[in-house]
Every structure is written in structure tokens, then in C-alpha cells.
């Protein structure tokens, strides 16, 4: 493949004919999954780029970027199990189930203990019926739910079966707990945080989330945001 000078990297298109690349990127907080895809397109000048599983802008961690022929593997990659570490803040309820939303309720967390949280978490293990957040990328009539919610249009998504393989309490320092979850495709950790708060009677939101793993793709092996320009140059040299 012809190498493109660095000063032309933003306005050239590299045809990755016959090449398929799966790039494990550690997405930083504040960047959307679409923004990561667009950034790589500009850096490497590649047309055919996508991702296998959206991460919310407020979340960080493993985002699998597919390039060239690897775009055909999106469905199989999205079906891999995911592992997350999340921070749950008790005593508050928002319309988005996270810290970006409007506060709907506040409650006392007095009496909340590691034992009560651990007992409540056990209810989520196995196959469960989960209602996705109204503020989510789940599609309804071709549009993401958040596009309706932002206009004040209430669309109540149906409960869907998801599987929680592992769920455990890592630490608790009131009013926040750190939990680890291994789950199937389609699981919303925000919904788990919200539902956990309902079970405990004090409300809860997801205040931070990191995707540690997708299948065998681990965060320890992921390319950092700062390293993406160099990684793009490596792709061009292929």
C-alpha cells in the first residue's frame, strides 16, 4: 500500500481493499463512540470504519473499532460478553439514570450496608427482564429513544431479556458503591443501577462506568486516545 505523507493524512483516502482490522480502543470519558470513529477516519483517511457496540459519552473503556472487511464482523463482536466496572451513587434518582439527567428524587441512605447491597445484587444474576433507559440509543420507529425523551415525548421501552453472568460488590463507601458486572449483549448498566436503587428503596444512579472487556479484548491491551495518531500512521504503512 502506498504510504501517505503525514501532512496529507487528513485529506487522503486509503483503500483498505482485502484488509480487515479490529482495533481495541480505550475510549475516554467525554467522547461519543461516533466521535472515535470519525476521528480515526480523519486520521487514517479510511472510508470503511465502524464500531461494535456503543459506549455512552460519559463511559470509558473498550470500544472495538472495525476497519475495512472487519466491518462484516460487527454482529459477532457485539454478541461477545462484556465486563464493566461501575460506580453507583445511592440516594438520588434522575431521568437518565446517570449524573447527566434531571434530578427527580432524593432519599436518605441511612442504614445502607455492604450486606444489604450484596443481597440486592444477587437478584440480578442470571437471565432477567430489563427495561432500557428512556434516554438511550435504542431505536423506536427508526430514531433513538433519547431523541424523543429530549423533546419531552415519553416512549416506554419494553422489557427485554438479558443475562448477567457475574455481578458483585467491589467496595462501598456511602453513598457510593463500586460494582463489577459480566453480562450479555444489550445490557444497560444504567438500568441495573436504577433498579438496584429501587430494590433498596433509596434510589440510585450510575455515576461512572468503564468497560473492562469485550470477549477477549481487554482494556489493558487497548490503544489510548493519545496513541491513536501513531496507530493511524501504522495503519497507513500497511
Region 43-50 average pLDDT: 84
What percent of the chain has pLDDT above 70?
82
Please confirm, yes or no, whether 56 is among the known catalytic residues: yes
Q: Is 152 left (phi over 0), alpha (psi -120 to 50) or beta?
A: left
Render the burial of 202-233: b for 16+ CB within 10 Å, e for the rest: bbbbbbbbbbbbbeebebeebbebeebeebbe
Looking at per-residue pLDDT, the higher value among 152 and 39 belongs to: 39
CATH superfamily of 82-214: Pseudouridine synthase (3.30.2350.10)
**CA neighbor of 85 nearest in space, from 25, 166, 201:** 166
Q: What is the mean pLDDT of residues 34-52?
A: 88
> What torsion do the CA atoms of 110, 177, 100, 167 make, to the nearest 10 degrees?
-120
Q: Among 56, 95, 170, 195, which one carries the catalytic annotation? A: 56
pLDDT, tens digit (0-9, with 9 covering 90-100), for 58-90: 999 999 999 888 889 999 999 999 999 999 999
Q: At 143, is the pLDDT very low, low, confident or very high (cuts 50, 70, 90)?
A: low
Mean per-residue pLDDT for 157-183?
A: 95
Give the homologous superfamily in CATH for domain 6-79+216-237.
Pseudouridine synthase (3.30.2350.10)
- pLDDT band for position 14 (50/70/90)? very low
6-79+216-237 matches 82-214 in fold = yes
What does pTM read for this prediction? 0.86
Three cell numbers, residue 186: 444489550
Amino acid at each position: 500500500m502506498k504510504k501517505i505523507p503525514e501532512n496529507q493524512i487528513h485529506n487522503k483516502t486509503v483503500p483498505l481493499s482485502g484488509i480487515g482490522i479490529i482495533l481495541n480502543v480505550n475510549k475516554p470519558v467525554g467522547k461519543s463512540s461516533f466521535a472515535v470513529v470519525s476521528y480515526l477516519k480523519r486520521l487514517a483517511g479510511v472510508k470503511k470504519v465502524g464500531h461494535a457496540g456503543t459506549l455512552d459519552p460519559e463511559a470509558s473503556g473498550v470500544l472495538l473499532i472495525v476497519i475495512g472487511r472487519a466491518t462484516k464482523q460487527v454482529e459477532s463482536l457485539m454478541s461477545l460478553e462484556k465486563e464493566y466496572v461501575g460506580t453507583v451513587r445511592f440516594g438520588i434518582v434522575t431521568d437518565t439514570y446517570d449524573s447527566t439527567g434531571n434530578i427527580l428524587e432524593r432519599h436518605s441512605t441511612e442504614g445502607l450496608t455492604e450486606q444489604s447491597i450484596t443481597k440486592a445484587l444477587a437478584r440480578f444474576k442470571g437471565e432477567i427482564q430489563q427495561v432500557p433507559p428512556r434516554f438511550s440509543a435504542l431505536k423506536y420507529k427508526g430514531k433513538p429513544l433519547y431523541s424523543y425523551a429530549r423533546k419531552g415525548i415519553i416512549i416506554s421501552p419494553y422489557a427485554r431479556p438479558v443475562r448477567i453472568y457475574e455481578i458483585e460488590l467491589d467496595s462501598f463507601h456511602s453513598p457510593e458503591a463500586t460494582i463489577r458486572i459480566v453480562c450479555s449483549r444489550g445490557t444497560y448498566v444504567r438500568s441495573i443501577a436504577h433498579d438496584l436503587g429501587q430494590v433498596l428503596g433509596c434510589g440510585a444512579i450510575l455515576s461512572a462506568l468503564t468497560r473492562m472487556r469485550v470477549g477477549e479484548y481487554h482494556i489493558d491491551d487497548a490503544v489510548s486516545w493519545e496513541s491513536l495518531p501513531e496507530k493511524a500512521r501504522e495503519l497507513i504503512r500497511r
